A and B are shown apart, each in its own frame.
Chain A
């Protein structure tokens, strides 16, 4: 929190305006104490004089020094502006949070009232209230306060509604916490930041509005004076002494801008979380890279001839700049996919499985960095960058994401979006492309594809949208489909249909599939081979039929045992992996899984095991691969077999 505020002050604009706001506030406090006498002394010998060494901005019709009057007026101007802001904020808070407190029906009435009030221009409201409350400082404060209340109420209402929909507010209500307490404890603290920022901006606005009202003669009345009043008096003699109007005018301008821009820069600084730091390749990177790619050579011998490979990845690394050195979510991943093969990638969130897929599909954006010893897709070197192989990537590699709603343009018809792929990458005419789109929708078993092609994404259900997404992938003739958690957002019955569909496309066209999932059972059912990822590395590479019973790595075995299926022994607890997953920012020494592993010894904690082949076509990165494990029946933790 304090760090984010520090970031605001670090920007040039934030620093300048922050200092200005402080200066104005300090001036408001000290100016009347120091210079009241000089501002109010009447000097009939020097009436309406121009700027001089004695009077920097000249004197007024009673011979008073305008420069000091402008300084002293800071207090009254600020007091009135802040008072108006406070009124606006308080009334706005009450009106804005009323819907939460009053319940649905009364709340709607309040909201409607606020909506109507928002429609009136602020200055018009201020003039209206100024007439009602009477001419004078009090009237003007009330007028400007009330005039700024509706927009603030609207803001509060929106923010409150956003937070009130969150589960923790529901949880508090279920816990029997009253509405007022929910508002004070849960809602207001969580919307405080944007409110403070907007109050600061609106203080600047009030300052200007006040100067306006006083200038029109509706605000402060003589003998009191604020900047607007001084401006009013000065404008009358603008041809005699322009400085008399310019001095207070400049004060209004500077103070108003200071508050407005400070608020803006705070909003910017707090709202956007940017990643700082620089990305530098360290010696460690350079040193470890050749060692690992050397281990990759024998992989080829195992996996068959290179021409058979659709995708060949050696020592893939993804890094992002972080505040404390680069973050490495993928740390040296090597694998290959053959024609028509289905490869599953499993791992916990943060294991780097999705980033591996994005790196392969050339979808890692700046400032992320992809390095690899080899990254070949159908023989083309993808390290040359996405532009070099746009056509190949566009037609031969298909990506299916978890949330198909965000992958489609909501304002365009489905058929057109699918056709676009063919127009761009295959050079088809619009008509041909449209026909192809309908054909592909039929291929992914979307019922009534002609009609569906004319519909918008929101008219599709989740499962249908995911089919359309796959349909978009097969608009070309892909040789690889990468599906990143394609069924996680779907119901089990729909999930099954989508998995069946992927299977069918694979069978028909000999398409290779990379299926990324956190669910071992899903991957085990669809795939031929499974990669298990942990902390940005592959810890085990095994045939899918070995998952249940044949897995060697303690992590793989725990993952399999952690998921209940229809045959799980009800007497036994589910397996539990104690501890926390490795964060991409952690520096890892030895085996990354060692801190959570029941088999780990000192060797594991110091030396990182390489991914090495063992029996049954399994490759595993573990010094204790396949050693027997038992299940602690109390905690569900896996333990060394003898300890049970």
Chain B
């Protein structure tokens, strides 16, 4: 069992006198082998929730459990890994891609094994293994994001948190990264918490979706239910705002189903 469970999690910033509650009593489960989408506007607390899970934000109350155990926040073994939004700042500009990917690997194996593992991971994310010797400056945004995914996988995580991993990419590259996410989920049985503000993207990669609004989860359930028959007003508003989801104001022929 390696499901990720947020149990009544609250994250608070600021001073004791003027606290700011970024995440307010959130309970959410990422079942094993599933991709759960987390949507919401900026400031809704979705990124804070992710950062709290990997120990980058302080937990005020509640628990974050991985397979029934608290998520380790110290030590070399980290079964929860995260991929960041901006691939231009998430890779150290002075470390080669290979070095960056080696970093989260659990201690143990020797040099040769590590190098072989880097090659395997790069192939897995459809990058040329030669990229291992390159600095991130030589890679395009899409290639960097794939390298960042490979780094997260190098930690042999039970669950991966993907925080807006396509929103800094050009649309033509975004498709490739989304394909990769689906492929990894299908082939490796990867569990993932996929954070995005784009419902169409979440619909494409996730089986479940949770909608966050002002620090709380206002609606969650299977994608096929929440996106077809939304219950909460905010979810409906989000759905209405997806570009291309409603007929434009000027006359246009109906969409052809190509």
Instruction: State the total of A-B contacts with C-beta under 8 angstroms.
Output: 173
Chain B positions within 8 Å of A565 at CB level: 200, 242-245
Task: Give B92's nearest chain A residue, CB to CB.
Answer: A168
Extra A-B contacts (17), CB below 8 Å, given A173-B54, A174-B56, A495-B243: A166-B90, A168-B92, A171-B151, A172-B92, A172-B103, A176-B77, A186-B95, A348-B171, A492-B199, A492-B243, A496-B241, A525-B244, A526-B248, A549-B258, A563-B171, A564-B200, A565-B242
Please state if A174 and B55 are interface contacts (CB–CB under 8 Å): yes
Shortest distance in angstroms between B188's beta carbon and chain A's nearest beta carbon? 17
Smallest beta-carbon distance A482→chain B, Å: 20
Most chain B CB within 10 A, of A171, A348, A493, A507, is at: A171
**Residues 526-543 of A contacting B (Cβ, < 8 Å):** 526, 528
B158 in contact (CB, < 8 A) = no
**What separation, in Å, do the CA atoms of A104 and B198 have in the docked complex?**
35
User: Is there an interface contact between B172 and A175, defined as CB atoms closer than 8 Å?
Assistant: no
CA distance A348 to B94 in the complex (A): 27
**Contact of A562 with B174 at beta-carbon distance under 8 Å, contacts A168-B90, A168-B91 already known:** yes
Residues A570 and B204 in contact in the complex (CB < 8 Å), given A493-B241, A576-B175 = yes
User: Do B155 and A520 touch (CB < 8 A)?
Assistant: no
Q: Does B113 contact A (CB under 8 A)?
A: no
A619, CB-defined interface residue at 8 Å: no
CB A106 to nearest CB in B, in angstroms, measures: 16
Contact A518-B171, Cβ < 8 Å, known A526-B248, A564-B178, A566-B200 = yes
A-B contact pairs, 6 of them (CB 8 A): A166-B90, A492-B242, A493-B237, A519-B243, A576-B176, A580-B140
Chain B residues with Cβ below 8 Å from A525 are: 243-244, 248
Closest chain A residue to B91, Cβ basis: A168
Residues of B within 8 A of A561 (CB): 175
5 closest Cβ pairs, A-B complex? A175-B104, A574-B175, A562-B175, A167-B90, A521-B243
By the criterion CB–CB under 8 Å, are B171 and A566 in contact? no
Q: Which of B51, B100, B174, B248 has the most CB of A within 10 A?
A: B248
Give the residue name and chain of the A residue nearest to B201 (CB).
A564
Residue of A nearest to B93 (CB): A190
**A491 and B95 alpha carbons, distance in the complex (Å):** 34
Q: Mark B7-26, 1 if CB is under 8 A from A, else 0.
A: 00000000000000000000
CA of A520 to CA of B248 in the docked complex: distance in angstroms?
Answer: 14
In the complex, the answer to whether B255 meets A167 with C-beta atoms within 8 Å is no
B182 touches A573 (CB 8 A): yes
Write the nearest CB–CB distance from B177 to chain A, whole angstroms: 9
Q: Are A566 and B227 neighbours in the complex by a CB distance under 8 Å?
A: yes
**B252 and A562 form a contact (CB under 8 A):** no
Interface size class on chain B is 35 or more
Contact of A175 among B78, B245, B249 (CB under 8 A): B78
Q: Give the CA-CA distance A528 to B249 in the complex, in Å.
A: 11
A170 B240 Cβ-Cβ under 8 A? no
Given known A170-B84, A492-B199, A566-B203, contact A185–B95 (CB-CB < 8 A): yes
Contacting residue for B241 out of A492, A558, A567, CB 8 A: A492
Chain A, 542-578, contact with B by CB distance < 8 Å: what is the 0/1 string? 0011001100000000110111111110100111110
- A494's nearest neighbour on chain B, judged by CB, is B41
- Closest chain A residue to B99, Cβ basis: A185
**Contacts known (A189-B94, A518-B171); A574 close to B178, Cβ less than 8 A:** yes
Are A520 and B176 touching (Cβ within 8 A)?
no
The reply on A19 being an interface residue by CB < 8 A is: no
Residues of B within 8 A of A63 (CB): none
Q: Which A residues touch B151, using CB under 8 A?
A: 171, 175
Bitwise, B213-230 to A at CB < 8 A (1) or not (0) is: 000000000000001000
Q: A503 on the interface (CB 8 Å rule)?
A: yes
Q: Are B103 and A349 touching (Cβ within 8 A)? A: no
Residues of B within 8 A of A186 (CB): 92, 95
CB-based nearest B residue for A177: B103
Closest chain-B Cβ to A318's Cβ sits at a distance in Å of: 20
A176 and B255 within 8 A (CB): no
Q: Do A166 and B178 contact each other (CB < 8 Å), given the known contacts A176-B78, A524-B244?
A: no
